A and B are shown apart, each in its own frame.
Chain A
């Protein structure tokens, strides 16, 4: 090879391979990862809220729902700050965590970073937290470590179990463990039977189901396989009003599907792409949480972004037979 020395050939070859690898690796994976994740540490909200400033009566309640907020990063802190600011204007006594409450490490180690720091103002105000277990929390589910992780979450958040029901004023909220094999896997019958029986016996005006995996979603993960055949018939049979989920990192509300409205509220700290499906009423790739106000036979949901912008507002009417 005349004109090119062996060293030049080696260095140029490494440069060419490096350029190709950099183009593919950075452009296709690392930079999108950096944009998708919430890796930058953030300052927690610095607010002092009036303790127990909310009102709960038999026909009135308000609460919040947030999903996939477990980074402890800057974006998680911004959403948490917005939650605290919303509390200051419209106090609420409960928060539903829609799963994935700890990224980049296990919950027991990151409890302070991903839960206490962002939620400190709400915790100090006496707000209680309920949990729908998410898949990130069960990534090692079949190992001892995986069970330990779920046990730690249940214990540290002081919730009754992996799946349970809570009553918020006029609403019964069913918190499910939608992770495999929790709801859709081979050992799902226990939880589905419990849900079927408990929904059958409830007399509340509002029925809300909270879970991590969305039955309907136009996002990155999409609609959860087998949800439509195993879970949706139960929800429809018992006339559930609203299903809250996370998993996909966006906000999406469906049109009422045979009477049930499904909301994905997974923008607690990260965002991913979302499209529009035939069932979509509204979808946004945004950071957000959901504020829900129930007043008699009217439920108003508001999707709130970190700077306080309202991305969606919807209203449901209670079923006539309740």
Chain B
């Protein structure tokens, strides 16, 4: 496989994994609802909410990789940074949801009592996770890439060419 084709396929696969990672918690909740015998529509709101975040983020992640491929000095930096970003995404999307929902049950139950749609809470948590992953990916890539020290621009001064004579 040619390198350009490989890169293109790798980016698509990465974007798909990124999408799935964001979708996983809502799919887990939906599967549990289906298995428990809740109506078909129960849990779909969270799936749609996650899809609304996962789809644009998959595009953003793919564009980030394409940009990095164009600018990277070392190809390995791209994939090391992107794997780190994916790990942060996977951990934060799922763990944040569990921590917020399990440890602050009273707070969000009280919000729900006042008519607060839980889907907004879900979207908020996943947005935070996505931002953390994006920041990780970009910062790690920047940190890994070699940076030439900036040279101070010298003032160009016209010196009259000196004739060197030998002899």
A and B are interacting partners: yes
- Stretch among A5-13, A147-155, A174-182 lining the B interface: A5-13
In Å, the complex CA distance between A39 and B97 comes to 9
Partner of B90, one of A5, A22, A112, A113: A22
Q: Is B108 an interface residue (CB 8 A)?
A: yes
Asked if residues A305 and B37 are in contact (CB atoms below 8 Å), the reply is: yes
Does the CB pair B31–A39 fall under 8 Å?
A: no
B1-50 interface (Cβ within 8 A of A)? 24-25, 28-29, 31-33, 35-39, 42-43, 46
**Nearest residue, chain A, Cβ from B146:** A5
Establish whether residues A31 and B28, one from each chain, have CB atoms under 8 Å apart when the complex forms. yes
18 A-B pairs with C-beta separation under 8 A:
A11-B143, A12-B80, A18-B83, A30-B95, A34-B29, A35-B32, A39-B105, A42-B112, A42-B118, A75-B33, A104-B103, A109-B106, A110-B106, A117-B113, A285-B35, A305-B36, A309-B37, A311-B37
A259: interface (CB < 8 Å): no
Q: Is the CB of B101 within 8 A of A39?
A: yes
List residues of A (81-127) whose CB comes within 8 Å of B's CBs.
103-105, 109-110, 112-113, 117
A19 and B32 CA atoms in complex are apart in Å by 25
Q: Bound state CA distance, A31 and B32, in angstroms? A: 11
Picked from A41, A72, A306, the residue with its CB within 8 Å of the CB of B118 is A41
Is the contact region of chain A dominated by helix, strand, or loop, or is it mixed? helix
Whether, in the assembled complex, A26 has its beta carbon less than 8 Å from a beta carbon of chain B, the answer is yes
Asked whether B54 is an interface residue with its Cβ less than 8 Å from the other chain, the reply is no
What residues of chain A lie closer than 8 Å to B112, measured between beta carbons? 41-43
- Give CA–CA (A18, B111) in the complex, Å: 34
Q: In the complex where A39-B98, A72-B105, A110-B105 touch, is A11 in contact with B84 (Cβ < 8 A)?
A: yes
Report the bound CA distance from A152 to B103 in whole Å: 21
Contacts A40-B29, A43-B112; is A287 near B118 (CB within 8 Å)? no
CA distance A15 to B76 in the complex (A): 13
Q: Which residues of B contact A (CB under 8 A)?
A: 24-25, 28-29, 31-33, 35-39, 42-43, 46, 74, 76-77, 80-81, 83-84, 86-88, 90-91, 94-95, 97-98, 101-103, 105-106, 108-113, 118, 121-122, 140, 143-144, 146
Query: Are the CB atoms of A307 and B102 closer together than 8 Å?
Result: no
Contacts of B31 in A (CB 8 A): 35
Find chain A residues with CB under 8 A from B97 CB.
34, 39
The answer to whether A215 has its CB under 8 Å from any CB of chain B is no
Given contacts A5-B144, A117-B113, 10 further A-B contacts (CB under 8 A): A8-B77, A8-B144, A31-B25, A34-B25, A34-B28, A43-B112, A105-B106, A113-B113, A271-B32, A286-B37
**Docked-complex contact B32 and A18, CB < 8 angstroms:** no
Q: What residues of chain A lie closer than 8 Å to B36, measured between beta carbons?
A: 75, 267, 271, 285-287, 305-306
A267 to B33 CA separation, bound complex (whole angstroms): 12
Residues facing B in A120-163 (CB within 8 A) are: none
CB nearest neighbor in A for B121: A41
Contacts of A11 in B (CB 8 A): 80-81, 84, 140, 143-144
Give chain A residues whose Cβ lies under 8 Å from the Cβ of B80: 8, 11-12, 15
Please, which residue of chain A has its CB at the minimum distance from the CB of B30?
A: A35
Bitwise, A282-322 to B at CB < 8 A (1) or not (0) is 00011110000000000000000111010100000000000
A311 CA to B36 CA, complexed, in Å: 11
Kindly provide the distance from the CB of A15 to the nearest chain B CB, expressed in whole angstroms: 4
Given A35-B32, A41-B111, A306 contacting B105 (CB threshold 8 A) = no
Check if A37 is an interface residue, CB within 8 A of chain B: yes
Task: Check: A237 CB closer than 8 A to any chain B CB.
Answer: no
- Say yes or no: is A33 at the interface (Cβ < 8 Å to chain B): yes
Report the Cα distance A287→B42, complex, angstroms. Answer: 13
Question: By the criterion CB–CB under 8 Å, are A33 and B105 in contact?
Answer: no
**For the complex of A and B, 3 pairs with smallest distance between CB atoms:** A18-B87, A39-B101, A287-B36
Knowing A8-B77, A11-B80, A78-B38 touch, does A113 contact B91 (C-beta < 8 A)? Answer: no
> Measured between C-beta atoms, what is the minimum distance from B115 to chain A in Å?
9
